[in-house]
Amino acid sequence: MDMDKVEGSVLNDQMCLAYKQCIHDLAQTPARNTCSRKGCGRLLSIQQATVRSALRLKWVCEAGHVCHIWSSQPVLKYGLSAGDLRLSAAILFSGNNFQKFEMLARYLNMPCMGSASFHHLQRHYLVPAVEQTWEAEEERVVKARKSQQIVMLGDGRMDSPGHSAQYCSYFAMDNASKEIISVVTVDKRETGKSSTRMEKEGFLRTLENLDRKGVLVAEVVTDAHPSIAAYMRKDKPDIKHSFDIWHVGKNLAKKILKACLKKQCSPLKAWLKHIVNHFYHVSSTASTVDEFTGLWFALLHHVTNEHSWVLDCGGGICECSHGPLTDERELEWLEKGSAAHDALREIICDRRFLNNIPYYLNARSTAELETLNSLVLMYAAKRFSYTPPVYRARNLLAALDHNYHLQREQKLNKDGSARVCQSFNKKSARWTVRPVKEQKTYPHMATLIRNVFQLRLSADKPLSSVLCLAESDPRRISRNIAPVEPPSKKELIEQFKSRFSKND
């Protein structure tokens, strides 16, 4: 095939979305050249039209008689093509956005539904289908935990970086199974347009939701959010509250790095990883505040090559718990009373840190929730804006993805060994390995698609019908999140002045 033929039949021709069954039906349609209307018999011509992503053919004679109509897609109620509905579902359920898909379709030279049609389909059928699927999943995970005491891991995720967030998603996870048991989304308009209050509001709604469904929360694990900690102390003293030790270790490392900025404290940097690891060890070993204090303060002696001492550090501890040390060491001991040692003493003896020791004793971690937050980025990226129902639906999709793929097995090599891959951490400047798991199968997608089509087939109104806002929709509170109402466009145009315009 030469380039001229490629130009005509490949590059300039339109593509369409077709179902195999529809093509099969077309192939079985008897070929006719003349009109089948009684007494007509005139020659037929084929008229083609693109209806969004579908191709529709119409056999019409010279007299205007329509003998046959064929569509590349099944047609649902009110003339909606099945492919358009399925395509819209695929865009949302895969975490994509319509603008990028529209660009893809343009490059493919494939007609598709417009932006308004997609958003109508999304609001009428796709979002309700996600809610319906999540309600069934939530009922399953809650039913398995009714009247049982659980340890709840909780974490809030803002929809944008910085302090200008509009939404906060609060995820609750069962510590034993690592399944998501509750997803709450909070809009800034529901907290007096204050971003800082959204995480606590999400936490309160989560506890209320679990209590209403009969889930007994014996312990909650969060980051060191001061408002949540104050609420738990005053209003929920019967529920144990623990802090995520990963966040504590992260803050501890930040303090050490800040102290190392001073030249005389630079020897402390080599001990950073070991100090943080010691904190994790103490948290998982100590069962009382005194025991934690003793093990924690022992670090001040250990870094100076002093492994037994006279004065009790707490909990009856007067020596290090490690075994004999080898002579081969990469770390240099700190000099007792040096600037680096004094800086470490200030960090270890920080009053706020010591007051929070009861929150560290159970050595709880919300690391799985941090992994979930990364998964949410696939469905709800922080660089795009969404309406409240769509934002919640995208977070629910991430929760469904997480729950349905918890039991993935690790891949095996040909020799039967577990497969791992290497990754380099820029922050620690170290190579590590992580397991390679089996590919995701997304078994819940079939249920999601089925729910979408059931909603469409049971619809009693066309797509263009007006859909009222739900009672809980925050847009009923305010049309936007700005603290003041916008002036008219005319006023804004008159006020606008470019600092780069030249005066003649």
Task: Report pLDDT digits (tens) over 178-216.
Answer: 999 999 999 999 999 888 899 999 999 999 999 999 999
Report DSSP state, residue 269.
G
**Nearest to 247, CA basis, from 264, 262, 233, 228:** 228
CA-nearest of 406, 399, 358 to 172 is: 399
Mean pLDDT of 404-419: 90
- Residue 6's pLDDT band (cuts 50, 70, 90): low
Q: pLDDT tens across 290-326, in order?
A: 999 988 998 988 888 888 877 766 667 787 877 777 6
- Summarised one tens digit per residue, pLDDT across range 240-260 is 999 999 999 999 999 999 999
Best mean pLDDT range from 105-114, 387-396, 429-438: 387-396
> Taken in order 290, 292, 297, 302, is the CA torsion positive or negative?
positive
Is pLDDT above 70 for 220? yes
Choose among 272, 269, 273, 320: nearest CA to 296: 320
As given in the structure block, the two tokens for residue 136 are 């069934």
User: What number of other Cβ atoms are within 10 A of residue 444's Cβ?
Assistant: 19
**Mean pLDDT confidence for 107-119:** 92
Residue 235 has pLDDT above 90, yes or no: yes
| Per-residue pLDDT at 473 | 87
* Selected residue with higher pLDDT from 426 and 443: 443
> Does the CA dihedral 75-81-87-93 come out positive or negative?
negative
Helix axes 245-259, 339-348, angle to 10 degrees: 150
Query: Which residues make up the CATH 3.30.420.10 domain(s) of the chain?
Result: 129-244+365-408
**How confident is the model at residue 492, as a pLDDT?**
83
- Give percent of the chain above pLDDT 90: 60
User: Within 10 Å of residue 169's Cβ, how many Cβ atoms?
Assistant: 27
The yes-or-no verdict on residue 398 having pLDDT over 90 is: yes
- The answer, yes or no, to whether residue 498 has pLDDT greater than 70, is no
The mean of the pLDDT values for the chain is: 89
How confident is the model at residue 1, as a pLDDT? 58
**The residue count for the chain:** 504
Which residues make Cβ contacts (< 8 Å) with residue 474, sequence separation at least 6? 187, 188, 189, 190, 388
pLDDT value, residue 89: 96
Q: What is the pLDDT of residue 8?
A: 65
Contact predicate 399/180, CB 8 Å: yes
Confidence of residue 502 (pLDDT cuts 50, 70, 90): low
**For residue 485, what pLDDT is reported?**
82
Tell me the two tokens of residue 19: 């179902």
pLDDT recorded at residue 41: 86
Average pLDDT over residues 55-78: 92
Question: Residue 35 pLDDT > 80, yes or no?
Answer: yes
Give dist(CA 151, CA 159) in Å, integer: 26
Q: What is the pLDDT of residue 434?
A: 86
What is the mean pLDDT of the segment spanning 390-410?
A: 95
Q: Is there a contact between 457 and 473 (Cβ–Cβ < 8 Å)?
A: no
- The CA R_g of the chain, rounded to the nearest whole Å, is 31
Q: Which CATH class is domain 129-244+365-408?
A: alpha beta
State the alpha helices, DSSP H only, in 272-350.
272-285, 289-302, 339-348
* Alpha carbon distances (Å) from 384 to 92, 126, 190, 195, 494: 13, 19, 21, 18, 29
Model pLDDT, residue 427: 65
Q: Which range among 69-78, 176-185, 224-233, 461-470 shows the weakest confidence by mean pLDDT?
A: 461-470
Q: Which of 75, 87, 72 is nearest to 24 (CA)?
A: 72
pLDDT for residue 2: 66
For the residues 225-247, what does the mean pLDDT come to?
A: 94
Which residues contact residue 77 at a Cβ distance below 8 angstroms, ignoring those fewer than 6 apart?
456, 457, 459
Q: Which residues have C-beta within 8 Å of that of residue 497, sequence separation ≥ 6?
A: none
Model confidence at 425, pLDDT cuts 50, 70, 90, reads confident
C-alpha 312/C-alpha 302 separation (Å) is 14
- C-alpha to C-alpha distance for 300 and 348, rounded to whole angstroms: 8
State the Cα–Cα distance between residues 278 and 295, nearest whole angstrom: 9
Residue 104 has pLDDT above 90, yes or no: yes
Q: Give the pLDDT of residue 486.
A: 83
HSE at residue 255, side-chain half, CA atoms within 13 A, is 17
Has residue 405 got a pLDDT over 70?
Answer: yes
Residue 504: pLDDT over 60: no
> In this predicted structure, what is the pLDDT of residue 141?
95
Q: What pLDDT score does 7 carry?
A: 67
Residue 261, token pair as written in the block: 């900025």
Q: What does the block give as tokens for 72?
A: 């590349």
Q: What DSSP character marks residue 417? A: P
Question: What is the pLDDT, as a whole number, of residue 329?
Answer: 65
Average pLDDT over residues 477-491: 84
216-222 vs 66-71, strand pairing mode = unpaired
CA triplet 364, 367, 370: central angle to 5 degrees?
140
- When pLDDT is cut at 50, 70 and 90, the band that residue 476 belongs to is confident
Give the other-Cβ count within 10 Å of 342's Cβ.
Answer: 14
- For 271-296, how does the pLDDT look when each residue is reduced to its tens digit (9 = 90+)? 998 999 999 999 999 999 999 998 89
Alpha carbons 363 and 282: distance in angstroms, whole number: 9
* Alpha-carbon gap, residue 307 to 319, rounded angstroms: 5
Mean pLDDT in residue range 106-120:
92
Q: Which runs of consecutive H residues, i.e. helices, occur in 94-126?
A: 98-108, 115-121
What SS3 state is found at 267? helix
Question: Does pLDDT of 328 surpass 60?
Answer: no
Q: How confident is the model at residue 48 (pLDDT cuts 50, 70, 90)?
A: very high
Residue 414, pLDDT above cutoff 80: yes
